[in-house]
Structure 1
Amino acid sequence: MHHQRRNAFTILGAGAALLLLIAAAGAWGGYRLNMTRSYPLGLWRIEVMQRVAKVGDIIFICPPEASVFELALKRGYLPRGLCTGGTGPLIKKVAAIAGQDIAVDARVHIDGRLLDHSELRAVDGKGRLLPAFAGGVVPAGKVFLHSRFPGSYDSRYFGPVSAAGILGLARPILTFTP
């Protein structure tokens, strides 16, 4: 019995060490696991951008330190991670860039055109009020982010964010949709 228990602990310890090694290698190699439903689950690679972000790019971005992200972290909307403010990077699509006009009511309109799958929710899954972005022109150096997933925490709720937080383009490596 003692021998079996020791073997089980050895196997569990080796498995945990292997997982840590894979996670570290992934972080150093620009790989990230997406465990949110904003985009397909699985392994993604961060590809360094050699240009400014444009509409339609799917990116990894670190959100800035702001009270809206502190609240999101406390409520569990965002993962913990190594970005400033203690969050993990977000994976989102750039829906609008500097100079574009955002109008928000029950849905989002960019330059007068409806953004597909942009319905706003008044409350989260636990019935807590969700802040909504008031709208306006995207300032220079900022991007407006979006995900088609209805429960996504994106710029519908927190507004445009600094493009300086962009880590790179998000490229799927091994993903699946549940």
Structure 2
Amino acid sequence: MKNARAWGKRLLWWWFWVTITLLCLAAGLGIWMQHEHLVLNQSTCEPLGLYRLIGNPYPLHDGELVEVELPDPVTHPAVAEGLRDHWFPQNQPWIKQIGALPGQTVTLSRRGVWVDGRYLPNSRVDRRTPGGRNPIIHYPFGTYHLKSGQVWLYAPGNYAFDSSYYGPVSQGHILQAAQPYWIIPGSQFWLRKGD
């Protein structure tokens, strides 16, 4: 009986110290990431991994990686739907590419996105979430000429949530330029698209 109690006590102390150690490591990792201006992308929009935020993204360029602020769910029904159905966490950083800039023409169809006649790879609009669980609201199909201050956000990954679903956004939603720091190449395609 004494041995069992002594063993239980040791196990409890061991668990306590492991927990404290893991908490300290997590805090240290968070401080290091903040110091290095790193954010973790867990979405299928871009490759999984760490991205360094490198400050002012202006002037913007096609294909440039940026950190963006979540569009307003009140004016973007697809964003409200995604938050309501938990397709993405509200406080996760959004890393996207600049797909089109003011003055460019974007054509959105079920088959994908064209910018000034150039097709954006893997931009097909999905109608349902992975596994076909829920329908997805998308931006109305058509041709759009981007006005001053508007950008079209693009993400090439499978089940990427970009302007194909919520439309063009104000340049004010762009927070910082970003660059890959440590990523898993190809991971944005791991989740297979359905038909």
TM-score, with structure 2 as normaliser? 0.79
1:91 equivalenced with 2:101 (yes/no)? no
1:129 to 126, 131, 135: 135
1:120·1:156 contact (CA, 8 Å) conserved in 2?
A: yes
CA 1:17–1:70: 2 relative to 1, 3 Å: farther
1:169 equivalenced with 2:173 (yes/no)? no
1:148 equivalenced with 2:156 (yes/no)? yes
1:112 equivalenced with 2:120 (yes/no)? no
CA distance in 2 between counterparts of 1:27 and 1:74 reads 29
Query: Who is 1:62 aligned against?
Result: 69
Query: Who is 1:102 aligned against?
Result: 106
1:46·1:167 contact (CA, 8 Å) conserved in 2?
A: no
Moved more, 152-161 or 24-33: 24-33
CA distance in 1 between counterparts of 2:125 and 2:67 reads 22
1:37 equivalenced with 2:44 (yes/no)? yes
Unaligned residue ranges in structure 2 (runs of 5+): 1-6, 188-195
Q: Sequence identity of aligned pairs in percent?
A: 23
Query: Who is 1:159 aligned against?
Result: 167
Give 1:164 shift: 1.3
Letter in 2 for 1:10: W
Larger radius of gyration: 2
2:15 to 8, 15, 20: 8
Moved more, 152-161 or 34-43: 34-43
Runs of 4+ in 1 over 3 A off after TM superposition: none
CA distance in 2 between counterparts of 1:149 and 1:60 reads 16
CA distance in 2 between counterparts of 1:89 and 1:98 reads 24
Unaligned residue ranges in structure 1 (runs of 5+): 82-87
Aligned residues: 172
Secondary structure of the corresponding residue to residue 8 of structure 1: helix
Give 1:66 shift: 2.2
Letter in 1 for 2:173: G
Query: Who is 2:190 aligned against?
Result: none
CA distance in 2 between counterparts of 1:30 and 1:143 reads 24
TM-score, with structure 1 as normaliser? 0.85
